[in-house]
Amino acid sequence: MSCLGHAFSPSDMDARQPKATEDSSTKQGDVAVDAELAKAIMSRRFHPSAISPETWEGYIFSDVEIRIKESTDLYGAVLWPSAMVLGHFLETNQDKFNLAHKNVIELGAGTGLVTIVSSLLGAKVTSTDLPDVLGNLQYNVTCNTKGRCKYIPVVTELIWGQNVAEHFPCATHHFDYILAADVVYAHPYLNELMDTFDYLCQDGTQILWAMRFRLDPENSFVDRFQQHFHLEELYDLPSLSIKLYRAWRKDKRTKDHKEAAA
């Protein structure tokens, strides 16, 4: 059962298409749920009412105003809708996914919305991205969490597949949640991203991953991902071409695996 209250098959990667066996009332119900949820998510964004020298976009999460500064030249300098989807899910599902005092890492944090929302919800967050993105990410995270959060989020470099075990040794780093929004697209590091999920996802770790579907390689990434991880679909939002997944590893990590990785 999905968190939307209707069942999805995790293995059905084209669940956005109506199925031949579905009756029309189910289809209409799905469309209505998608429209209502997408509207609720997108309505969290607002624009500054007065012209100011600082350019920012506003978001309301956890009853506070979050101001996100974007720049224009990099993927990570723009806030993508998947981040709003994941932020919305985290805020509205605290009964099932309570982040308070949990160790959380975000991959490809970009402008930082998910990190900020998770920190406001009480998590100890490690917010990661490529070096070029960290300045703007740190700025947004600091401005929006200072004095508002129990734990100060840590912003740090994590390049997928590069020295991850060295920077995040298993012996000292165990994450309850790995968060990721829109990290799978036409970039050449999909194998490295998979390896990073695989390394960081230990016994007891849950991955919450908002996935924007654009092209075929993204579908095949999900297929490959399912070889290593159990996958549950939490949201299906065809109007945004986004699905939200929960995942956890299939196999128990062996001692050898842990030592090799550390």
Ligand X SMILES: C[S@@+](CC[C@H](N)C(=O)[O-])C[C@H]1O[C@@H](n2cnc3c(N)ncnc32)[C@H](O)[C@@H]1O
Select 29 or 77, whichever has its Cβ closest to ligand X: 77
CA distance 57 to 67: 6
Specify which residues 84 forms β-bridges with: none
Q: Considering the complex, what minimum distance in angstroms separates the CB of residue 80 from ligand X? A: 4
Is residue 233 close enough to count as binding ligand X by CB under 6 A? no
Q: Considering the complex, what minimum distance in angstroms separates the CB of residue 233 from ligand X? A: 18
Is residue 183 close enough to count as binding ligand X by CB under 6 A? yes
Instruction: Tell me the C-alpha to C-alpha distance, in Å, between residue 188 and each of 20, 94, 184, 185, 241.
Output: 36, 35, 10, 9, 21
Is residue 130 close enough to count as binding ligand X by CB under 6 A? yes
| Out of 59, 61, 80, 245, the residue judged to bind ligand X by CB under 6 A | 80
Which listed range, 167-175, 178-186, 197-205, 246-254, lies at the site for ligand X (CB under 6 A)?
Answer: 178-186
Q: Considering the complex, what minimum distance in angstroms separates the CB of residue 91 from ligand X? A: 16
| Out of 27, 148, 150, 187, the residue judged to bind ligand X by CB under 6 A | 187
Q: Considering the complex, what minimum distance in angstroms separates the CB of residue 44 from ligand X? A: 13
CA distance 226 to 28: 29
In the block, residue with structure tokens 């944090």:
109
Q: Considering the complex, what minimum distance in angstroms separates the CB of residue 50 from ligand X? A: 25
Is residue 75 close enough to count as binding ligand X by CB under 6 A? yes
CA atoms within 13 A on the CB side of 201: 25
| Out of 4, 79, 116, 164, the residue judged to bind ligand X by CB under 6 A | 79
- Per DSSP, 18 falls in state P
In this structure, is the dihedral angle defined by the CA atoms of residues 244, 76, 66 and 140, taken in order, positive or negative?
positive
Is residue 221 close enough to count as binding ligand X by CB under 6 A? no
Helix (H, G, I), strand (E, B) or coil at 60: strand
CA distance 4 to 11: 17
Over the window 92 to 121, marking each residue x when it contacts ligand X by CB under 6 A and - when it does not, the resulting string is ----------------xxxx----------
Instruction: Give me the amino acid identity at 258.
Output: K
User: Helix, strand, coil shares of the chain as percentages rounded to 5?
Assistant: 35, 20, 40
- List interacting residues with ligand X (CB under 6 A): 75-76, 79-80, 82-83, 108-111, 129-130, 133, 158-160, 181-183, 185, 187, 189
